[in-house]
């Protein structure tokens, strides 16, 4: 069983408050995030493949009173899988790394990824000593994850099994300097 | 006045005075003293990385949240960072890298030479401002300038510490 990606993103962000900061991966999860509604507290990635989780870590350490959700794809996570070890050591209580896993590289023509070939990202995260590691496969699991994200109180990893569909792209702004300035203004930092 | 051997401590004090709160690093002998100082300081979050490019992304995230971060690595690590440096280039994030050189002066290991020899070229192509330091007496001034340029003007800045400064690695004991 697997979930529809746009509906999954919408469910995770339903009732979003100003203390939730979101970093997607490049590609499909970036379009999913834009489709859920633009927000100054989104930092869309148009590149930096393999870097989403580490951007989330730097942000979570800098903003301990806010919650940070990295919502990326399996291919992007696989490229920066070492970040799970780095995060496992730091254990920021306000960071969730959520992987939309369809086992495919969607942006490049649906080639199979290692996650699709049997690599289990939930076990990888658990092996990296990330405390809470969830394998989300149905609506009930998704609802549980959304609730945990609202009351985040420990480093969280979740793999969300999504269906291999490719909904129409929703393109967010792509001026990196403008995205950065907008995000920092929303968070209220200018140091 | 500090004795020349105190330059890692000067570097630490300059970073601390410059408001740096996150220090990402892949361990390197040339940075050993600086890493030790960072680890011992409760105001600084030391983040050991599995690969140097993680530190580029870490620094971007830190800046999004209003904190200053630096990346410590040796010259071989710069090669691992090249694509991730697109992030500070595309978004104009501050990116301060402190790079200890291998593969130049008194290098015993020839495998360090290929990457060490292209550090200056890579930094130029990545639009980094470069402050190369060969003498201990120049460390503090260069570090102050590097901090100011990186965070004061949101620039990619590399402070490159020459192998003469770090000293010869002893291979036989």
Average pLDDT, chain A: 97
Contact A110, A147 (CB under 8 A): no
A191 band by pLDDT with thresholds 50, 70 and 90 = low
Q: Where are the domains of chain A?
A: 5-187
- Both structure tokens of A30: 């970036």
Report chain A residues whose CB lies below 8 A from the CB of B19. 191
Residue in A49, A57, A177 closest to B58 by CB:
A57
Question: What is the reported pLDDT for A190?
Answer: 79
In this complex, which of A21, A61, A188 lies closest to B62 when CB atoms are compared? A61
CA distances, B67 to each of A64, A79, B81, B98 (Å): 11, 26, 21, 18
Collect all residues with Cβ–Cβ distance below 8 Å to A86 and sequence separation of at least 6. A54, A57, B47, B48, B49, B50, B54
Residue A55 to chain B, least CA–CA distance (Å): 4
pLDDT tens for each residue of A74-101: 999 999 999 999 999 999 999 999 999 9
pLDDT at A40 over 90: yes
CA distance A2 to chain B (A): 31
Say how many C-beta atoms besides its own lie within 10 A of residue A9's C-beta.
26
Amino acid B1: pLDDT: 47
Any chain A CB within 8 A of the CB of B92?
yes
Q: Which residues of chain B have pLDDT under 70?
A: 1-5, 171-173
Say if strands B95-100 and A111-112 run parallel, antiparallel, or are unpaired: unpaired
Taking CA atoms, A74 is separated from A23, A68, A104, B36, B114, in Å, by: 15, 19, 7, 36, 33
| C-beta atoms surrounding B94 within 10 Å | 22
Residue A56 has pLDDT above 90, yes or no: yes
A47/B64 CB distance under 8 A: no
Closest CA to A62 of B104, B67, B126, B106: B67
**Which alpha helices (DSSP H) does chain B contain, by range?**
7-17, 32-40, 53-64, 75-81, 86-91, 113-116, 119-125, 139-152, 163-166
A189 pLDDT more than 50: yes
Bridge-based pairing state of the strands A104-105 and A111-112: antiparallel
Query: Does A184 score more than 50 pLDDT?
Result: yes
| Interface ipTM above 0.85 | yes
Task: State whether residue A56 sits within 8 Å of chain B by CB.
Answer: yes
pLDDT in tens, A126-177: 999 999 999 999 999 999 999 999 999 999 999 999 999 989 999 999 999 9
pLDDT tens digit sequence for A57-76? 999 999 999 999 999 999 99
How far is A133 from chain B, CA to nearest CA, in Å? 21
Give CA separation, B10 vs B2, B46, B109, in Å: 8, 18, 29
The domain ranges of chain B are 22-38+51-107+123-129+148-155
Q: Which two tokens stand for residue A90?
A: 């730091």
pLDDT for the residue numbered B105: 84
CATH architecture of A5-187: 3-Layer(aba) Sandwich (3.40)
Residues in chain B closer than 8 A to A185 (CB atoms): none
Residues in B closer than 8 angstroms to A78, CB to CB, are none
CA distance A46 to chain B (A): 9
- B44 in contact with A at a CB cutoff of 8 Å? no
Asked if B57 contacts A55 with a C-beta cutoff of 8 angstroms, the reply is yes
Q: Give the pLDDT score at B5.
A: 57
- Residue among A86, A177, A183 minimizing CB distance to B54: A86
Say yes or no: B53 contacts chain A, CB-CB below 8 A: yes
């Amino acid at each position: 069983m697997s979930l529809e990606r746009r509906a999954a993103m919408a469910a995770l962000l339903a009732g979003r408050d100003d203390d939730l900061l979101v970093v997607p991966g490049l590609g499909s999860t970036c379009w999913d995030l834009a489709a859920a509604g633009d927000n100054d507290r989104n930092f869309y990635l148009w590149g930096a493949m393999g870097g989403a989780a580490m951007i989330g870590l730097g942000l979570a350490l800098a903003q301990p009173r806010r919650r940070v959700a990295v919502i990326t794809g399996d291919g992007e996570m696989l490229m920066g899988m070492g970040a799970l070890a780095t995060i496992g050591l730091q254990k920021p209580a306000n960071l969730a790394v959520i992987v939309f896993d369809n086992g495919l590289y969607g942006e490049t023509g649906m080639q199979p990824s290692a996650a699709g070939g049997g690599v289990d990202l939930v076990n990888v995260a658990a092996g990296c000593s990330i405390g809470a590691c969830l394998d989300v496969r149905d609506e009930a699991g998704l609802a549980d994850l959304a609730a945990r994200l609202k009351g985040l109180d420990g480093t969280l990893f979740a793999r969300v099994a999504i269906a291999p569909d490719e909904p129409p792209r929703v393109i967010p702004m792509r001026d990196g300097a403008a995205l950065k300035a907008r995000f920092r203004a929303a968070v209220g930092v200018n140091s | 006045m500090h004795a020349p051997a105190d330059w890692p401590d000067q570097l630490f004090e300059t970073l601390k005075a410059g408001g740096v709160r996150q220090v990402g690093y892949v361990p390197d002998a040339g940075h050993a003293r600086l890493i030790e100082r960072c680890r011992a300081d409760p105001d600084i979050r030391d983040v050991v990385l599995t690969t140097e490019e993680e530190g580029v992304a870490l620094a971007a995230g830190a800046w999004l949240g209003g904190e200053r971060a630096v990346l410590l690595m040796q010259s071989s690590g710069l090669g691992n960072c090249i694509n991730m440096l697109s992030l500070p280039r595309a978004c104009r994030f501050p990116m301060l890298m402190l790079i200890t050189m291998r593969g130049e002066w008194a290098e015993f290991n020839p495998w360090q030479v290929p990457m060490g020899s292209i550090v200056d070229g890579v930094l130029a192509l990545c639009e980094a401002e470069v402050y190369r330091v060969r003498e201990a007496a120049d460390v503090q001034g260069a570090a102050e300038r590097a901090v100011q340029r990186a965070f004061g003007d949101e620039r990619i800045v590399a402070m490159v510490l020459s192998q003469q400064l770090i000293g010869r690695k002893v291979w036989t004991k």
